[in-house]
Structure 1
Amino acid sequence: MAAENKPASNNNSSKGKKRKFLPHGKVVRKGLYPLRPGVQGFFITCDGGRERQAANEALNLLESFYEELVHGSDSGSKSKTIPNKPLNKIIKFEDSDSSSDEDESLAKDEVQDHEEESKRPIENKNGKLEDDSPQREDNQDEKQAQKNDSIPAKRQRLENDPPTCENVDLVVTKNKPIDELIEDELRELGDRSKRHFVSLDSGCNGCIFVQMHRRPGDPGPVAIAHKMISSAAVTKKHMSRFILRVLPAEVTCYASEEEISKSIKPLIEQYFPLDTSSPLKFAVLYEARSNTGIERMSIINAVAKSVPSPHTVDLNKPDKTIIVQIAKTICMIGVVEKYKELAKYNLRQLTSPQN
């Protein structure tokens, strides 16, 4: 009797209940392409648990602002690639039968001209008009027969001759099936090395990294991020739902004092030249995530000492801000302008209606 009055075990009661977790409590799932040293791109903060949606939004935004910087504006880039009205022109190639058709049309025009000339009267030596139409008709028939015999020869010669160099690509694409063309295009889109922007796994909650495959002549991450943030500050147009801050990363290395001092040298030479008549004021911003083994002041001092002496530190109104972001074992460094004036490059804060 005592055994029957025992309550049921908790295992059976917990099966029907669904476990509820907050988004920031989720474990970050490691992706196939983790963040690594030696890449350029953008370190972006977002809402916790919305890393995948934020990555998709970031890829679309960065691609649009990249096209705007390269082509000037959206309308300008479209006008260069797509005409306003379709060009309904018939293109005839040398390796097709169109040339033989043109020969036939030319032969018909010549026949009509000869017929008109045959109808005209001819003057003899004495100045009298003579009618020589029967002889001209016979001569015209002979010429027409000769031309008709030459037309198949021309057509046969054009069919046997190989296509010219200008039309080789057109012939290859014409003979290739549509399925293979679609597969080639999908294969090209799936190749990550041919994309401008690719998302990488940062390893931290609420943070994503978008790598940029920079080609010769392309704008850098700093130019694209500054274009995005400045346009958001001017237009107040809502651009994203999950993205918070967009920080350019021009140098990525391992998070150690020696590696940071070595990797930051070309960046310092670019933005803080040694021989200059107008020295700049700079500040160092340091943030670390999922890394407690590095001392904050040691990294800040290492970055500040790498800047040459004509330039001075000013934390209130700096001309340039050196942003140092550490995510686990990777350090990302970028140099930006008007960091505080542009709400610390916070896209949501710039587009909020309160500002």
Structure 2
Amino acid sequence: MGKRAAEKSGPMSTQQKRAKRFQQVRERFKNPQNLFDISPGMRGFFVSCTRGREQKSASETIDLLEQYATRLYPGIEEDIENEGETSAEPAPTGGDIEDEIAREIANIKSTSRPKLFRYYFTTIECVVFIKCHRMIDPEKLAHFVFEDLAKTKQRRTRYTCRLIPAKVTTSSKIDAIVKGAAEVTHRLLADDAEPTTFAVAINTRYCDDIKRDDVIPAVAAPLNAKHKVDLKNAKYTIVIEVFKSICTIGLVENYNSLRRFNLMTLFDEPEAKASSKPAPVLEAEGVSGDSQANAETA
């Protein structure tokens, strides 16, 4: 019996542990809800949506973005195919189990049709991140979408609330946020930039380290010398979304007049909105610090 026990605890036990570990990692990759894969350097869109409808929101939002992207960038799909590029990340070349799984998935994706957009679960209720191809400018596309929808008055989505461009994605550290904000506002900081009005909007979710009263003055400081703050009708708004360890930043025009880039309220008439009761909160609870409504300054 002792010999059998020793055999069980030998090489066979190591193989069993490796097989179990392989299976655990495989399950993580098969079930994206268990992953938080948003990382600094990504570009795309921060999306808030109805609770429990994250996947449906991602699907309808990607459909919407694809339709407008092909109008804003004619022939972009052919350009991507000609370059042989996809929006998938390069497969790792390491030798551990996670790298093996990643390579397997990357090989499968490389044979599929190139995608302009890809969605990522954030493990946060009511929040989805949609990554866009590097040829697409998320700020230009978002503005193009909302300007057109405001004119046509055609509702195209059912579950999606806010669609915010993420021109820069950084870690949720204040120095990284300030640096990212300077990057998205570079044209406003240029020597030949015309004086204009601006505001800063910030929302935080599941991140207690970032305080809006610390971020807003630091982000606004470089702009104050040439431009004027306008909290009601700013031409440009720096929109900062902090969730967990990640922060997305985008510069948008006519933020307030386009209903803060909210696809659900974009079509509301001002008179009806003023006389109606407050709409139920559809986004996730657990916004750290101030409530989401109070956390947004624009």
Interval containing the TM-score (normalised by the shorter chain): 0.5 to 0.7
- Structure 1 residue 201 and structure 2 residue 117: aligned? no
Structure 1 pair 352–188 and aligned structure 2 pair: CA distance change class (3 A)? farther
Q: Which residue of 2 aligns with 1:256?
A: 173
1:31 shift after superposition: 4.3
CA RMSD across the alignment: 2.7
- Structure 1 residue 63 and structure 2 residue 39: aligned? no
Structure 1 pair 33–199 and aligned structure 2 pair: CA distance change class (3 A)? farther
Structure 1 pair 64–31 and aligned structure 2 pair: CA distance change class (3 A)? farther
1:283 shift after superposition: 0.4
Q: Which residue of 2 aligns with 1:332?
A: 248
Q: Distance in 2 between matches of 1:274 and 1:311?
A: 12
Q: Distance in 2 between matches of 1:187 and 1:265?
A: 35
- Structure 1 residue 307 and structure 2 residue 246: aligned? no
Return 261-270 or 341-350, whichever deviates more: 261-270
SS of 1:35's partner is: coil
1:208 shift after superposition: 0.6
Q: Which residue of 2 aligns with 1:235?
A: 152
Residues 272, 280 of structure 1: 8 Å contact kept: no
Residues 38, 252 of structure 1: 8 Å contact kept: yes
1:324 shift after superposition: 0.8
1:256 shift after superposition: 1.1
One-letter identity of the residue aligned with 2:117: F
1:352 shift after superposition: 4.9
1:305 shift after superposition: 1.4
Structure 1 pair 228–288 and aligned structure 2 pair: CA distance change class (3 A)? same
Render the CA deviation track for 1:98-144: whole Å, top value 9, x for unaligned. xxxxxxxxxxxxxxxxxxxxxxxxxxxxxxxxxxxxxxxxxxxxxxx
Q: Distance in 2 between matches of 1:316 and 1:238?
A: 26
Q: Which residue of 1 aligns with 2:45?
A: 42
- Structure 1 residue 210 and structure 2 residue 130: aligned? yes
Render the CA deviation track for 1:42-96: whole Å, top value 9, x for unaligned. 0011000100111111111111110011229xxxx9xxxxxxxxxxxxxxxxxxx
1:268 shift after superposition: 2.1
Structure 1 pair 231–319 and aligned structure 2 pair: CA distance change class (3 A)? same
- Structure 1 residue 317 and structure 2 residue 237: aligned? no
1:1-355 correspondence runs (5 A): 30-32=33-35, 34-71=37-74, 188=110, 190=112, 194-215=114-135, 218=136, 220-276=137-193, 278-307=194-223, 309-352=225-268
Residues 180, 249 of structure 2: 8 Å contact kept: no
Residues 40, 169 of structure 2: 8 Å contact kept: yes
SS of 1:54's partner is: helix
1:214 shift after superposition: 1.5
- Unpaired runs of 5+ residues, structure 2, are 1-30, 78-107, 274-298
Q: TM-score, normalised by structure 2?
A: 0.65
Q: Distance in 2 between matches of 1:344 and 1:236?
A: 16
User: Matched residues, percent identical?
Assistant: 31
SS of 1:347's partner is: coil
1:260 shift after superposition: 1.4
- Unpaired runs of 5+ residues, structure 1, are 1-27, 78-185
Q: TM-score, normalised by structure 1?
A: 0.55
Larger Rg: 1
Structure 1 pair 201–62 and aligned structure 2 pair: CA distance change class (3 A)? same
One-letter identity of the residue aligned with 1:196: L
Q: Distance in 2 between matches of 1:63 and 1:271?
A: 29
Q: Distance in 1 between matches of 2:208 and 2:57?
A: 26
SS of 1:30's partner is: helix
SS of 2:155's partner is: coil
Q: Distance in 2 between matches of 1:275 and 1:308?
A: 15
One-letter identity of the residue aligned with 1:254: S
One-letter identity of the residue aligned with 1:205: E
